[in-house]
Structure 1
Amino acid sequence: MFLADTLNDLVYKPIKKPYEIWHKFMEQNVEFWLPESEWHTKTHCARVLFLALLIGHQKGLSAKEIDALGMAAVFHDSRRLDDGIDKGHGRRAAEYYKDYCRGHDLPYDARTYYITYYHDQDDSLGLSEIAKSSSLSERAILLYQIFKDADALDRFRLGPDALNVNLLRTEEAHRLVNFAKYLLQKSRKTYS
């Protein structure tokens, strides 16, 4: 695990356990349709997981909210058909998540479903659908924004100008831009 030494740093210790749990879960249980993908790999999902948990911790989320973000991170790109825009991969991944929970007697979280489903859509649609759902609280909007920021922060893997920082939704994400670059460099050194 390329983040093992980073997780031992006192600053990141609060997210170490949930990161290790969800990373192990992903490695052992989540099947990716594009295992040879150049951009949407388990390593990408691991960085998104780390960033989502970090932002969530900084926002003071509950353990259940942290778990909702963790589960979204490990499933979100699992059902891609290609490395392009592939609108709809979020819906496919959300259905995979729901079916996985049913088939493995795991607790299902509607927030994770919605975050995963709409992560590849424009915010106007994602936020509107979350707001319309009677089963979700306003906190689901915050989780969606955190997740979208964590996923966006890993856009540097696509090129040095791939992230438009003006589109980040949370102050925490704005403060993590350079750290996201560091995580990417660290993972490339580990896996090269």
Structure 2
Amino acid sequence: MFLANILNDPVCQPIKKPYELWYKFMEENIEFWMPDSEWHTKTHCARVLLLALLIGNQKGLSDEEMDALGMAAIFHDSRRLDDGIDEGHGRRAAEYYKDYCHEHHLPYNAQTYYITCYHDQDDSLGLSEIAKSPCLSERGMLLYQIFKDADALDRFRLGPDALNVNMLRTEEAHGLVDFAKYLLQKSHETNL
């Protein structure tokens, strides 16, 4: 299992089982349009999954909220067309998620849809669309911010200065900056 060496770290113990569940689901079920991408791979999604679950655990999220983050993490970059900005890949991935749930008779979560759909957009748009949705609560905004932070924390894969820590939204994410660097280093060692 990818990141198995990290999962034994005490900081990961509370989220080890949900991480393993979502990681296995991604490996067995999610199709990525760019499987040979340099930056937006299942490996990236696995790190985002781990970071999102860590932040969510630290925030004391419910199991349902943790599941929404897990699904968003494993689907969020599955429908990329290129490794650039690729505006719109979030909406394509959200539609893939929605269709997947319908086709496989899985529970659909509107929060997962919105998080995935707007993760590639500016916060002003993402937060305003979440606020306008009658099916989402204020917690939807928190989940969106947690997810955006988890995705941002993995920007170190793009270079040592790729993350602007001033753009992180949650206190918990600020506390995970060094862990995110460590996580990237360990995932490179695993993939050698």
Partner residue, 1:20? 20
The TM-score normalised by the length of structure 1 is 0.99
Gaps of 5+ in 1: none
Shift of 1:11: 2.7
Identify the residue that residue 143 of structure 2 maps to in structure 1.
143
2: CA distance, partners of 1:136 / 1:112: 10
Partner of 1:41: 41
How many residues are paired up?
192
Q: Which residue of 1 aligns with 2:88?
A: 88
Checking the alignment, whether the CA contact within 8 Å between 1:2 and 1:186 is kept in structure 2 is: no
- In 2, the alpha carbon distance for the partners of 1:161 and 1:56 equals 25
For the aligned residues, what is the CA RMSD? 0.7
Report the TM-score when normalising by structure 2.
Answer: 0.99
Q: Deviations over 1:145-177 (max 9, x none)?
A: 000000000000001110000000000000100
> How far 1:5 moved relative to its partner?
2.7
> Deviation at 1:15?
0.3
Give 1:42's aligned amino acid: K
> Counterpart in 2 of 1:157?
157
Aligned residue for 1:107? 107
- Equivalent pair of 2:6/2:186 in contact (CA under 8 Å): no
Unpaired segments ≥5 residues, structure 2: none
CA distance in 2, matches of 1:7, 1:185: 14
| Match of residue 171 from structure 2 | 171
Quote the offset at 1:12 in angstroms.
1.5
**8 Å Cα contact 1:153-1:180 kept in structure 2:** yes
Quick one: distance in 1 between partners of 2:186 and 2:8? 15
Inter-partner Cα distance in structure 2 for 1:136 and 1:2:
33
Equivalent pair of 1:154/1:180 in contact (CA under 8 Å): yes
State the distance in 2 between where 1:36 and 1:6 align.
Answer: 24
Query: What SS is found at the alignment partner of 1:11?
Result: helix
Matched to 1:108, the amino acid is Y
